[in-house]
Amino acid sequence: MINSKQIRWIEVNDYQEMSRQAASLFEQQLLRKPDSVLGLATGGTPIGFYEELVRKYKQGAFSFSEVKTFNLDEYVGLASNESTSYHNYMEENLFSQIDISPDNIHLPNGLAKDLLAECAHYEQLIQQNGGIDLQLLGIGVNGHIGFNEPGTSFQSATHIVTLAEETRIENSKYFHTKQEVPRYAITMGIETIMQAKQIVLLAFGEHKVASIKRIQQDGMSEDFPASCLKEHPNVTIIYGK
Ligand code: GLP
C-alpha cells in the first residue's frame, strides 16, 4: 500500500519474510558499497533479521571487513557485558558471528562519566565517518524510534532520555523485574536518524498495528516520533502481524 509520497510499504505474511526482506536490503547495500556505515537497532523485532544476515554472510554473500556500525541507543548504567545491555545483544546476535573489526563497532557508552560529552562525541563520530548509509529501525508501541520518546524534538541530535513509563513496562520482558529496567538511555536523536541516507523500519505483531496505522494515516507530529519518517526521501517499512 502506498499512501505517502516517500515511504515504501511492504506488507509481509510472516516474521521470516520480514526478516528476509530486510536482510536482502542490507545485502544490496553491502554489495553496492562494501565499506558502508550501517545504523543498527536492538529489540525483539530484528532478531530474525540478524539471523538471516549472519546466514547470508556465512554463505559468503558479503563481508563486514570494511563495514562500520553505529547503534541507535544504549541504556545508561549498564556495563557492556551485562546480559541486558545493547552492547551484549549486538555481540550475541551479530558481531561475534561476523568478520567485523572491533574498532569499527560503535554504541553509545552508557557508563561514560560525562554523559553529555559522550553524546556530543557519538554524534561527531557518525559525522566523521561520513554519516549513516542504511539505518535499521524498530518502533516502540508509543511510536518511539531509537529511544526518542513522544515529545522529542525533530531537530534533536544524540542525547540522554528519561524513558517513558510505558517503554520501561514494554521492555521489562528483557529484565528479571521492571525495577531493573534503567530509567535513562543515550539515543541518536531524530535528526541524527533522519540524516541517514536510507532507512528500513521493521514492525511485526498485533501490538504494533496501531503504531503502523498512525504512520500511514496521521500527519507528522513530535507526539509520535516515527511520523518524522514521512519527510525522509528513502524509507522502507516492512510490517506484518
Ligand atoms: C527498544 C529500542 C528500540 C526498539 C524498541 C522496540 O525500546 N530502543 O530501538 O525499536 O525497543 O522493541 P521490540 O522490537 O522488542 O518491540
Please name which of 175, 68, 162 lies closest in space to residue 115, comparing C-alpha atoms. Answer: 162
Note if 148 is an active site residue: no
201 phi and psi angles, rounded to 5 deg: -110, 135
Given the residues 144, 148, 159, 170, the one annotated as active site: 144
Please name which of 208, 211, 203, 214 lies closest in space to residue 236, comparing C-alpha atoms. Answer: 203
First vs last C-alpha separation in the chain: 15
Residue 5: what pLDDT? 60
What is the Å distance from ligand 1's center to 139 Cα?
6
Read off the amino acid at residue 14: D
Cβ of 30 less than 6 Å from ligand 1: no
Atom of ligand 1 nearest to the CA of 187: 8
Domain boundaries, the chain: 16-187+218-227
Residue numbers of the chain with a pLDDT score lower than 70: 1-5
Note if 231 is an active site residue: no
CATH of 16-187+218-227, one of 3.40.50.300, 3.30.460.10, 3.40.50.1360, 3.40.50.720: 3.40.50.1360
- State the DSSP string of 48-73: HHHHHHHHHHHTTS---TT-EEEESE
Residue 182: what pLDDT? 98
The β-bridge relationship of strands 184-187 and 159-162 is antiparallel
Atom of ligand 1 nearest to the CA of 138: 10
Q: Which residues of 72-107 are buried (b: 16+ CB within 10 A; e: fewer)?
A: bbbbbebeeeeeebbbbbbbebbbebbebeeebbbb
Cβ of 45 less than 6 Å from ligand 1: yes
Note if 149 is an active site residue: yes
> What digits encode the pLDDT tens for the residues 185-207?
999 999 999 999 999 999 999 99
Q: Which residues of 140-150 are buried (b: 16+ CB within 10 A; e: fewer)?
A: bebbbbbbbbb
Residue 183: what pLDDT? 98
- Collapsing DSSP to helix, strand or coil, 86 comes out as helix
Cβ of 138 less than 6 Å from ligand 1: yes
Atom of ligand 1 nearest to the CA of 205: 16
